[in-house]
Structure 1
Amino acid sequence: MSQYIGEPITRVDGHEKVTGQAKYAAEFNVPDLTYGVVVSSTITKGRITLLDTSKALAVNGVIEVFTHENRPRTAWFDISYKDQDSPPGSPFRPLYDNKIKYNGQPVALVVAETFELARFAAMLVHVEYEAEPCDTDLMKHLDTVRNPEPGLMNLMKPLPPKPRGDADKAFAEAPVQQSAQYIHGMQHHNPMEMFASTVEYGKNGFLTIYDKTQGVTNSLLYVTQAFNIPFNQVRVVSPYVGGAFGSGLRPQYQLFLAVMAARELKRSVRVSLTRQQMWSFGHRPATVQNVCLGTQADGTITAIIHEAKAATSQFEDYTEEVVNWTGKLYPTPNGALRYKLKSLDIYTPLDMRAPGGVTGLSAVECAVDELAYKLGMDPLEFRLKNYTERDWTEKDRPFSSKELRACFRQGAERFGWSGRNPEPRSMRKDHNLIGWGMATGIWDAAQVPARAEATLTVNGKLRVRSATADIGTGTYTIMTQIAADTLGMPIDDVVFRLGDTTMPAAPIEGGSWTASTVGSAVKSACDTLAKTLFRMAKRIPKSPFVGVGFDDVLFINGEIRLKRNPSARVSLLEVVNLNGGRAITETGTSIPNLVAHMKYSRNAHAAAFVEVQVDEDFGTVKVTRAISAVAAGRIINPRTARSQIIGGMVWGISHALQEESVMDHRYGRFMNHDLAEYHIPVCADIHEMDVVFVEENDTVVNPLGVKGVGEIGLVAMPAAIANAIFHATGKRIYELPIQLDKVM
């Protein structure tokens, strides 16, 4: 019986955040702190011919200017320099030599006694370059793409499966065909908290690092490998993260520079990046997709061809799972899913919320909608006709659970889909054209290994720890709920802590796997602690549990009770008092059930329904109403889960209508590298939104039966909006974002 799991508990970390007690990476003040400011390159490709730091060093209060000419020696071996999210290739190495690989690359670090002095002196660093022609435009190279390099780090992003049947022939012979090219521009993560690392230089060179990261363990691995430092000489701390969306999965260059400077100067150093410098690492890559769908006259899909061509850097092969989703959603005897890369003079792209998923589904779900119109079928009816319970991209495995039909039904009912006039341009309100659109969403339900620790303190409180992160998703809260439920304790007596490498190791927080991964570890640790406490309770004089097994008792309200006689009880405080005034601690490890996982495909599913108003004169688009129906297994906390889905839906509006990193390919430079010109929604852009959680029981994915909701709320929204715009205007738009000039 669950007392807290499934309840809309308010965020346990909310008080610290709203009162300002929560500290972020650039807010930890340490003794003798100095400040570093990065100087960025102004060219995209070439080499540095002159680097004059004399004027900067002449400023009173400037301590040092680090460049490739004077940087200290580090362990630059690629094989030992990987992090948990590295793609195949050679990771970027700051200040390595005089070569410029991308625009905005760090070329110097100015360290001074104050931030203001460092920023001023950074303006005095004089750099001259010998520029070479740069190549950053994917559209010019669609005929010269190549297969990605295979690598260990791509295991979580599987490349397309082998073809099924003869897709090209089947498409050519299909009575009804749909074929189009879809263009997806570059986007950048823009979390409220910009990247910073505060490195405290301690006794005997011990480093305490306060880092903006989605995984302290990953930052620890990066630092110890890059600088050849023993693990016991470094501690990484990150209790709060002001948003990340994937940008914090890999350690960013400010971490390297701060550690380098601290070790060389033997002083504490903080390096903070500016908003403009947030455009100098990682982004959702430009991608061009071709989708070809063929059906019989009755709408049965007989051929699927989905190919994607994406940009990567010259030094790493970043890949995304773009095309596989099509095969997971739609059955066909003939399917070909293809994914190719082009190396350009850009920084390596980086996972950005729902990487690959939102890109691929934005194309295929628009193609499905257009095909349904050609067939004269309701888009929802077409999807139901081509519904599948098996995943042909994963050796035709069944899904561990799939309540997508219920998502369609409940979402359509809540939205009022049956009242839709299918004719484009048939619905109006004053000078606005009204459109309704829908799309399907799917995302992985993954689990990876993690550890957690549970401690019953001498005053009868439960303290649980794991070195995971909370990037605003509610990790603090749901882990507290899981621990309280598992050990049957009042939630006010439970505290969960995270974000410190002195805690049991956990993976980076991403991929919507934290609830399943760390949650299962927390459950394991608390289960183990419960068994230990029960064994101790049996040794109490006149114990009511003599001769009974663990399955014969319940943990309720801080007590162990006999199931058949609840009045026979022992308090946990009484048990811990037997331990000689010492707390009782147990650890737990969550490991995926690989046997079960080899038998099933594991995914969360969703259906998005959207209403738009399009101004007929100006082409402006307003999303007036949106509903997401989501099947994501067991929902630990409906309040935080709903917040995640709403956040994804808002991002879907941003993704479809506004968000775009604009590069001038003559210079290889992003031209809108600030939040004044990089457009994202404001409150006035967001109207009526609703979430439906469809009941789903999954006994395969993990011990908790949860699937994660971080990405599933985003993936279907852009296509649903594009389809609604077509319904409103009768115009198909094949390029995101859909701005007013494209509508007009």
Structure 2
Amino acid sequence: MPEIALTQAPAHVRMGSSIGQPLTRREGVLKTTGAARYAADHHPPGMAYAALAVSSIARGRVVALDVAAAKDHPGVIAVMTPANAPKLALDPDAKLHPFMFRLDVLQNDKVRYANQPIAVVVADTLEAATEGAALLAPRYETEPARVGLDGHERFAPQAVGAGRPAEESHGDVEAGLASASRRIETVYETPGQYHNAMEPHAIVAAWDGDTLTIDTPSQGMAFAQDRIAGLFGIEPTAVHIRSPFLGGGFGSKGLISGPQILGIMAARLVGRPVKLVLQRAQMYGPVGHRAPTRQTMRLGADDQGRLTALSHHVHTATSAFDDFVEPAATVSHALYASPAIRTSHEAVRIDTGTPLFMRAPGEAPGSAALESAIDEMAHASGMDPLRFRLANYADVEPISGNPFSSKALRQCYEQGAERFGWSRRPLAPRQMRDEAGMLVGWGMGTATFPAIMFEGHARAVLRRDGTGIVELGAHDMGQGAWTALAQIAADSLGLDLGRIEFRSGTSDLPDAGIAGGSAHTATAGMAIHGAGADVIARLADLATGDSRSPLFGAGNAGVIARGGRLFRRDNEAASESYADILSRAGRDVIEGHGSGRVDPAAQAAYAMHAHGAVFAEVKVDPDFGQVRVTRLVGAFAAGTIVNPHMVRSQYLGGMIWGVSFALHEQAVTDRRSGRVMNANLADYHVPVNADVPSIEAILVEERDIHVNALGIKGVGEIGVTGTAGAIANAVWHATGVRVRSFPITLDRLIEP
């Protein structure tokens, strides 16, 4: 029987006994007791330690390294430089695939950005490796660094993000603006940001001939496997990756990075297993970031507050040697009805590491600008911000005209506003104070994120004892994916959750797709669902074709799988256990395979998005301009909710990220050297517990029969979108001052 790829749920599976339950994490005990092993926890016999030396300039070349001083340091085994680094089978600058980013792995002496690896020191101890790297004393031939968005030649990218056109439009924007009763044109700026996952990038690499085993955090093991195999000229099956747990990724671990390749090269050079773990400061350069943006919003509206035109132009930056462009304007495709919409992007090349996908890529900075502009247009129209959004509610996707596969945004607005108390909001700014005299403001923003699916595969096994095994190369970055996927597995196999053995986290298992784009639960979940359906179909064939079975003659679609038994659909009093069916057939196991993939017809016919509404309260010190977020309420609709407990956690985490975006987070780059000057968690500010307000996430019910057979949409990134704009709008409502540069700091409130 061929692998099952589902676009519709199989008739014999009754869903709901595990899916939808707020279960606790299956791996929670492992993590809280320290038994969960992350990449850097592995110590194979004979392992050596590697440390990077990184560039202190942003552009030029390395002309000298004091290799002798480093090699003479006690404990140092080898110093890897371009002079002795293993040559690769594939040019690391070759662009064979849009997601195959160019890597700096000591194949020449060029420096393309600050913090670029320029040497690797391998030693018997971490201390010796680190001290040896500090002795290299690099000398450079330096060229002026190209920094920031201004003063560089702009270019129109061929594509943005994951391949979306850089410019899209419908209708006549200029005519729409000309006919408008009210127009605004504003510019918003967002800074560069860095992922800063709790777990730094790390690798433990061990060669056995041409077979490579690595422990490394990866959001996409199969993709990493192919990339590594190509670079080292070996078969993908010779690369074994173990990545059961990630301490966060946020997109930075979706693609293999240069430092990970350097760890593998160092292991080959010294003939021993090697561990390389990035220091926190070394994560600001070679492993991606979110690029800065300058976004020009032009909106027009008629006398009733209906949009006549919306133009969203993005000016951003990418590296001097690669092509990733932040797709910030694409968020304007999906939210507000307008007869004319145009989105466009242009970029400059600067001396920085290549930007990369970062939680809600495009949507996070784009929605900050869009939601601020919508708020400004509502004020110009004399309308409440929620009423203005409802007046411009899109019943079809504005840019394409396609109907939405589902859209419960109205319900998000209603439930969020009621819970927040929005009806009590005064229209004019600077009208509310608390008992301490602090200015109080209320703002809102609309949240959206596309419902994405990649291709993934899974294997399921049903054993004679009535237990099941599900295997796939899935990833758990801390969001509880293993638990949610096990819940899907339990329902698809008709077993209680405790009867499921869940195996994941290695590249030797079926490829479950990339854990990114809020797509992992849908992608891997559909693969598991298909594998379970395949198993039950095979089991039903055995039972319904056997005259000794009470299910004889029922046919495959005439049975229901539940609780380790098959039941006749037309008479549930007739049933048989899995164990009895397998025993009578003389079978120990039944194996099934499934895949999850996009249905091209549905994707072409429908716009697929999750939606939400975020309401924010801020308090601002009228004398010093200090801003505190005191309350957030988010209401979100994202199709089938596999585990409400974990989904709510993702929404809360996303909104906290939005607080960070709005008020705290920015990379400060020295314009002379091109170096990030706050490359540490003391100076690169993110919210701490004292900064996190009362947060509430409302799960709005939504059913989607088109997005996939399970109706699942992603929830990992939508909480970020809308939140920064809501906070910015609340700051304006509190103070009457519109700050258009993020993060909103007290100096910008004093001098906006």
TM-score using structure 1 length: 0.96
2:275 pairs with one of 239, 253, 270: 270
Partner of residue 123, structure 1: 134
1:369-448 alignment to 2 at 5 Å?
369-394=375-400, 396-429=401-434, 430-448=436-454
Amino acid at match of 1:671: M
Partner of residue 108, structure 1: 119
User: Residue 201 in 1 paired to residue 207 in 2?
Assistant: yes
Partner of residue 144, structure 2: 133
Question: 1:400, 1:601 within 8 Å by CA — same for their partners in 2?
Answer: yes
User: Residue 703 in 1 paired to residue 717 in 2?
Assistant: no
After TM superposition, give the deviation of residue 28 of structure 1 in Å.
Answer: 1.3
Question: 1:159, 1:339 within 8 Å by CA — same for their partners in 2?
Answer: no
1:329-348 alignment to 2 at 5 Å?
329-348=335-354
Partner of residue 512, structure 1: 518
Amino acid at match of 2:262: L
Partner of residue 719, structure 1: 725
Question: 1:306, 1:323 within 8 Å by CA — same for their partners in 2?
Answer: yes
Per the alignment, do residues 684 and 641 of structure 1 end up closer, same or farther by CA in structure 2, a change over 3 Å counting? same
User: Residue 16 in 1 paired to residue 27 in 2?
Assistant: no
SS in 2 for 1:280: coil
Name stretches of at least 5 consecutive residues in structure 2 with no aligned partner: 1-14
Partner of residue 567, structure 1: 573
Amino acid at match of 1:412: A
Amino acid at match of 1:284: R
Question: 2:251, 2:516 within 8 Å by CA — same for their partners in 1?
Answer: yes
After TM superposition, give the deviation of residue 541 of structure 1 in Å.
Answer: 6.6
Deviations 1:390-440 (A, max 9, x none): 12323x111111111111111111111001112211000122100000011
Question: 1:83, 1:222 within 8 Å by CA — same for their partners in 2?
Answer: no
User: Residue 34 in 1 paired to residue 29 in 2?
Assistant: no
After TM superposition, give the deviation of residue 83 of structure 1 in Å.
Answer: 6.4
Partner of residue 691, structure 2: 685
After TM superposition, give the deviation of residue 388 of structure 1 in Å.
Answer: 1.1
Name stretches of at least 5 consecutive residues in structure 1 with no aligned partner: none
1:61 pairs with one of 75, 78, 93: 75
SS in 2 for 1:512: coil
Partner of residue 145, structure 1: 154
Per the alignment, do residues 149 and 359 of structure 1 end up closer, same or farther by CA in structure 2, a change over 3 Å counting? same
Residues in 2 aligned to 1:161 and 1:131: alpha-carbon distance in whole angstroms: 37
Deviations 1:195-225 (A, max 9, x none): 10001223x3421110111111122111101
After TM superposition, give the deviation of residue 509 of structure 1 in Å.
Answer: 0.6
Residues in 1 aligned to 2:472 and 2:98: alpha-carbon distance in whole angstroms: 17
SS in 1 for 2:276: strand
Amino acid at match of 1:146: F
Question: 1:215, 1:499 within 8 Å by CA — same for their partners in 2?
Answer: no
Deviations 1:426-472 (A, max 9, x none): 00012210000001111100112110111123432211111121111
Residues in 1 aligned to 2:80 and 2:468: alpha-carbon distance in whole angstroms: 47
Residues in 1 aligned to 2:679 and 2:489: alpha-carbon distance in whole angstroms: 43
Residues in 2 aligned to 1:355 and 1:280: alpha-carbon distance in whole angstroms: 18
SS in 1 for 2:113: coil
Amino acid at match of 1:479: L
Amino acid at match of 1:691: A
Deviations 1:539-585 (A, max 9, x none): 66721111111222221111112233333222222334456564322
After TM superposition, give the deviation of residue 254 of structure 1 in Å.
Answer: 2.0
After TM superposition, give the deviation of residue 190 of structure 1 in Å.
Answer: 0.7
Residues in 2 aligned to 1:222 and 1:256: alpha-carbon distance in whole angstroms: 10
Residues in 1 aligned to 2:350 and 2:285: alpha-carbon distance in whole angstroms: 15
SS in 2 for 1:713: coil
Residues in 1 aligned to 2:132 and 2:656: alpha-carbon distance in whole angstroms: 40
Residues in 2 aligned to 1:34 and 1:356: alpha-carbon distance in whole angstroms: 40
Amino acid at match of 1:137: G
Residues in 1 aligned to 2:440 and 2:268: alpha-carbon distance in whole angstroms: 61
Residues in 1 aligned to 2:440 and 2:212: alpha-carbon distance in whole angstroms: 59
Residues in 1 aligned to 2:496 and 2:98: alpha-carbon distance in whole angstroms: 36
Residues in 2 aligned to 1:697 and 1:479: alpha-carbon distance in whole angstroms: 19
2:497 pairs with one of 488, 491, 495: 491
Question: 1:103, 1:669 within 8 Å by CA — same for their partners in 2?
Answer: yes
After TM superposition, give the deviation of residue 163 of structure 1 in Å.
Answer: 2.9
Residues in 2 aligned to 1:378 and 1:469: alpha-carbon distance in whole angstroms: 43
Amino acid at match of 1:223: I
CA RMSD of aligned residues (A): 1.6
Deviations 1:24-80 (A, max 9, x none): 011112111111101001111111111221011112321111001111111233686
1:450-489 alignment to 2 at 5 Å?
450-489=456-495
1:627-638 alignment to 2 at 5 Å?
627-638=633-644
Deviations 1:157-186 (A, max 9, x none): 412454333312432442201111101110
Question: 1:84, 1:250 within 8 Å by CA — same for their partners in 2?
Answer: no
Aligned length: 734
SS in 1 for 2:26: coil
Residues in 1 aligned to 2:572 and 2:381: alpha-carbon distance in whole angstroms: 64
Amino acid at match of 1:318: F
After TM superposition, give the deviation of residue 685 of structure 1 in Å.
Answer: 1.1
SS in 2 for 1:126: coil
After TM superposition, give the deviation of residue 700 of structure 1 in Å.
Answer: 0.6
Amino acid at match of 1:306: H
1:589 pairs with one of 578, 587, 595: 595
SS in 1 for 2:89: coil
User: Residue 93 in 1 paired to residue 104 in 2?
Assistant: yes
SS in 2 for 1:715: coil
Amino acid at match of 1:33: M
Per the alignment, do residues 155 and 432 of structure 1 end up closer, same or farther by CA in structure 2, a change over 3 Å counting? closer
2:540 pairs with one of 521, 526, 534: 534
Residues in 1 aligned to 2:584 and 2:350: alpha-carbon distance in whole angstroms: 66
Residues in 2 aligned to 1:206 and 1:541: alpha-carbon distance in whole angstroms: 51
1:353 pairs with one of 354, 359, 366: 359
User: Residue 226 in 1 paired to residue 231 in 2?
Assistant: yes
Residues in 2 aligned to 1:615 and 1:574: alpha-carbon distance in whole angstroms: 72
Residues in 2 aligned to 1:139 and 1:578: alpha-carbon distance in whole angstroms: 76
Partner of residue 547, structure 1: 553
Residues in 2 aligned to 1:487 and 1:76: alpha-carbon distance in whole angstroms: 43
Question: 1:632, 1:696 within 8 Å by CA — same for their partners in 2?
Answer: yes
Partner of residue 737, structure 1: 743
SS in 1 for 2:328: coil
Which moves more between the two structures, 95-104 or 534-543? 534-543
1:289 pairs with one of 285, 290, 295: 295
Per the alignment, do residues 576 and 547 of structure 1 end up closer, same or farther by CA in structure 2, a change over 3 Å counting? closer
SS in 2 for 1:619: coil
Residues in 2 aligned to 1:156 and 1:525: alpha-carbon distance in whole angstroms: 29
Residues in 1 aligned to 2:17 and 2:94: alpha-carbon distance in whole angstroms: 46
1:236 pairs with one of 221, 236, 241: 241
Per the alignment, do residues 741 and 628 of structure 1 end up closer, same or farther by CA in structure 2, a change over 3 Å counting? same
Amino acid at match of 1:181: V
Residues in 2 aligned to 1:693 and 1:550: alpha-carbon distance in whole angstroms: 36
Question: 2:457, 2:513 within 8 Å by CA — same for their partners in 1?
Answer: no
Partner of residue 368, structure 2: 362
Question: 1:206, 1:234 within 8 Å by CA — same for their partners in 2?
Answer: yes
Residues in 1 aligned to 2:452 and 2:295: alpha-carbon distance in whole angstroms: 26
After TM superposition, give the deviation of residue 13 of structure 1 in Å.
Answer: 1.0
